[in-house]
Amino acid sequence: MESVDPATGAAIAEYDEHDTAAVDAALSTAADRFDSWSARAIQDRCRLLERTADLLRERTDEYATLMTREMGKPIGQARSEVEKCAWVCDYYAERAPEQLADEVVGTEADARTLVSYEPVGPVLAVMPWNFPFWQVFRFLAPTLAAGNVGLLKHASNVPGCALAIEEVLRDAGVPEGVFTTLLIGSDRVDDVIRDDRVRAVTLTGSEPAGRSVAATAGEALKKTVLELGGSDPFVVLDDAPVEATAEKAAFARTQNNGQSCIAAKRFVVHTDVYDEFVDAFAAELDALTVGDPTDEATDVGPQAREDLVADLHDQVQRSVDAGATLALGGEPLDREGPYYPPTLLTDVPEDAPAATEETFGPVAAVFEAEDDADALALANDTSFGLGASVWTADLDRGERFARGFDAGCCFVNEYVKSDPRVPFGGVKESGYGRELSRHGIREFVNRKTIWVQHGFGEDDGLGTVDDAGGAGVDLTDGGNGS
């Protein structure tokens, strides 16, 4: 695997792929480590997450620079990403013991019943390049806290980030084999999923990749969580403060160089403020600085690869051919590196690529809505359902509107974002399952029902129930447990 700086095209480093024997050894080690790791007190596991957070903060500049060099993220945003990874480690270090504590359930007066949340084993994570640290840490923090072990198949253009994540965990004291990077191509993922030592799979990526992983895992009856693409609506109602909203809209579309599944992509604007918003939005986009991602003044860096620019430009051209108006940008920049400028499309037909496909780059499509009902219909007119936002001066109106979104993450007067404290994930072709919060940490656990019946056999001397609710004798189920 070769790591290449997208801003310059210069090779950074080369890495040898893991051969079949190396992958087999990694899977065996992960399976072996699971027994000892899951047996450790959760407080011990959480202390190692705290140490990981400390090291991330100490190495913020180092890891931010690595991200920027491997995939072109503006350096300021890269630093924020490292800090967010430290936050999610701290969050689960504090909250995991509570989130995974036994849940006592009231059933019958003469029984003690509870749900125990127990780890399932090695979990494979297939992760993308666009947030090369955060996507991994929002998986690994809850997964390791729960007592599972992790295996990472990262995107092939960020191998340095993948190995750095493994390194920081090792340096924090996480035992070897509890989290392992597999340097393999996408063509070898299916074999890893099918391996009996792997018990579950999570993927963040495209909708086709999600279908492929889900199909393979489904054949093996393995749990999956999928966070796929998005074409998030950004709805501007007639009472929204236009200038302030346009400023938010520009960042919501161009964060991470526009390469984010939760970036706003379709801007649905009430007719009463449509012209004013389009003018303000165009001005905000035009004022952004496109350039060297290592420069602190840069707002938008390069796209991660040349082929991504070609795909994005093709979507823009096909949208214009379908009848959209090109109001800003629309041509790859004539400079070294895969740079695409902030681009604005208006009058976008409902069947144009900018309306029906995910545009993974700084391209915004604006749609005019007659009223709230029309705006909501336009917002939901997509096969995706990851995130959505609405902007209004009336918070009650905004909340009512947000409840109508057909999406997993809905915001009022805030751009869509992931936060360790709330669940993250989508519906429809944006995937299923949730990451983060207590909902995320419970995805890869066995929700085990434990029923302790009081009084059985007391007269026969077969067993008693002690004060803690545990049976005084080991009774073996001779049936199928149903």
Cα-based distances in Å from 327 to 11, 278, 335, 366, 482: 36, 9, 22, 10, 63
pLDDT of residue 460: 53
**What is the domain extent for residue 305?**
232-419
| CATH number, residue 140 | 3.40.605.10
- Say which amino acid occupies 357: E
Cα-based distances in Å from 375 to 256, 325, 348: 27, 20, 14
Claim to verify: residue 224 and residue 324 sit in the same structural domain = no
The closest of 201, 342, 210 to 282, measured between CA atoms, is: 342
Is 477 inside any structural domain? no
Claim to verify: residue 149 and residue 21 sit in the same structural domain = yes
Active-site entry in 85, 261, 409, 410: 261
Claim to verify: residue 109 and residue 45 sit in the same structural domain = yes
- Say which amino acid occupies 399: E
Claim to verify: residue 351 and residue 367 sit in the same structural domain = yes
Claim to verify: residue 47 and residue 193 sit in the same structural domain = yes
Output the tens digit of pLDDT for each of the chain's 482 residues. Answer: 999 999 999 999 999 999 999 999 999 999 999 999 999 999 999 999 999 999 999 999 999 999 999 999 999 999 999 999 999 999 999 999 999 999 999 999 999 999 999 999 999 999 999 999 999 999 999 999 999 999 999 999 999 999 999 999 999 999 999 999 999 999 999 999 999 999 999 999 999 999 999 999 999 999 999 999 999 999 999 999 999 999 999 999 999 999 999 999 999 999 999 999 999 999 999 999 999 999 999 999 999 999 999 999 999 999 999 999 999 999 999 999 999 999 999 999 999 999 999 999 999 999 999 999 999 999 999 999 999 999 999 999 999 999 999 999 999 999 999 999 999 999 999 999 999 999 999 999 999 999 999 998 776 554 444 444 443 333 333 333 33
Is 461 inside any structural domain? no
Is 288 inside any structural domain? yes
pLDDT of residue 380: 98
Claim to verify: residue 276 and residue 344 sit in the same structural domain = yes
Claim to verify: residue 183 and residue 332 sit in the same structural domain = no
Three-state DSSP at 111 gives strand
Is 128 inside any structural domain? yes
Is 458 inside any structural domain? no
Claim to verify: residue 219 and residue 238 sit in the same structural domain = no
Claim to verify: residue 39 and residue 172 sit in the same structural domain = yes
Domains of the chain: total: 2
pLDDT of residue 272: 98
Is 410 inside any structural domain? yes
The closest of 245, 240, 250, 246 to 272, measured between CA atoms, is: 240
Q: Under a CB-based contact definition with an 8 Å cutoff, are residues 266 and 365 in contact?
A: yes
Is 480 inside any structural domain? no
Q: Under a CB-based contact definition with an 8 Å cutoff, are residues 176 and 155 in contact?
A: no
pLDDT of residue 457: 76
Q: Is 227 among the residues known to form the active site?
A: yes
| CATH number, residue 367 | 3.40.309.10
Claim to verify: residue 222 and residue 364 sit in the same structural domain = no
Active-site entry in 81, 166, 227, 429: 227
Is 38 inside any structural domain? yes
Claim to verify: residue 151 and residue 48 sit in the same structural domain = yes
pLDDT of residue 481: 35
DSSP character at residue 448: E
Tokens of 222: 């393995």
Claim to verify: residue 410 and residue 392 sit in the same structural domain = yes
pLDDT of residue 456: 87
